């Protein structure tokens, strides 16, 4: 069922809460919503787990205030969901931008409620190129993406979708995925792109103590594979599962492998 959780500033955050048992909390990527995890939700509920999918402020069915799209505020929203739903022993999965938000949550609030972390195509430790970090887009490229969003958001999203996957997918599936992003607020899309451009978690990830699984597509054109290697260096208890045939959207590029890997990890198997 769907429910709304009130954030600290009064923003109503939509949560898809389905099933029972151990909770798996899903944090979506820019600029989609929790429905991008449809095929993981179906699997987990069938296996006896509780799917908790959060629409960030500005996305999906959540309120879209003018402010609050930085990682600190988004992490606060996640904390409110976990606290108000009284979730414990959580497996927290952050995809793309959701990976940065998941890490920010753990750095701010600790891991007392979280037992496992999955970073899937995560936009971390930093999304844009810096001195000593030659990976990802330049800040100028993100600025151009933001300018395109202000001018013609549907066309920007179409172009973004063209680099999202490494494999060809049926047109109806691509249109469905495109529709998830169209549903987002324009200012939320812009403001969180600014956060993606500017947030930097380097040097902090050594404080992540929870067991961590990094899943990353070798052909990722959005968050290059080097991101995964950098995260594995910094996070003490991280191991890396390489998806050789996947781009950024490994959830669909290698859907069966992704689901099997996730389910095995949630169940507690150490070999994935």
Q: Which residues are annotated as catalytic?
A: 96, 220, 248
- Point out which residues pair with 243 in neighbouring strands: 217
CA distance 10 to 220: 37
For 45-71, the three-class secondary structure string (H helix, E strand, C coil) is: HHCCCEEEEECCCCCCCCCCCCCCCCH
- Please count the other Cβ atoms lying within 10 Å of the Cβ belonging to residue 256: 8
CA distance 208 to 228: 15
Kind and range of the H or E run holding 250: helix 250-253
Cα 67 from chain centroid? Answer: 20
């Amino acid at each position: 069922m769907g429910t709304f959780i009130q954030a600290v500033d009064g923003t109503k955050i939509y949560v898809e809460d389905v099933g029972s048992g151990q909770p798996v909390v899903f944090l979506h990527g820019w600029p989609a919503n929790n429905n991008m995890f449809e095929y993981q939700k179906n699997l987990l509920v069938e296996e006896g787990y509780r799917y908790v999918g959060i629409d960030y402020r500005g996305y999906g069915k959540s309120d879209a205030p003018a402010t609050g799209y930085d990682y600190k505020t988004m992490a606060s929203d996640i904390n409110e969901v976990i606290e108000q739903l009284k979730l414990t022993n959580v497996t927290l999965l952050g995809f793309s931008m959701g990976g940065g938000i998941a890490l920010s949550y753990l750095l701010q609030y600790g891991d007392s409620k979280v037992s496992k972390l999955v970073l899937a195509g995560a936009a971390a430790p930093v999304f844009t190129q810096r001195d000593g970090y030659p990976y990802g887009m330049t800040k100028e490229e993100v600025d151009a993406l933001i300018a395109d969003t202000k001018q013609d958001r549907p066309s920007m999203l179409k172009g973004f979708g063209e680099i999202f996957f490494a494999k060809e997918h049926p047109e109806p599936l691509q249109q469905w995925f495109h529709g998830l992003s169209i549903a987002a607020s324009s200012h939320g899309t812009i403001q969180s792109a600014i956060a993606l451009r500017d947030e930097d978690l380097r040097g902090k990830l050594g404080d992540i103590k929870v067991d961590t699984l990094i899943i990353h597509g070798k052909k990722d054109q959005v968050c290059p594979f080097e991101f995964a290697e950098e995260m594995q260096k910094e996070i003490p208890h991280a191991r890396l599962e390489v998806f050789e045939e996947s781009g950024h959207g490994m959830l669909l590029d290698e859907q069966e492998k992704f689901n099997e890997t996730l389910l095995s990890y949630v169940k507690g198997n150490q070999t994935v």
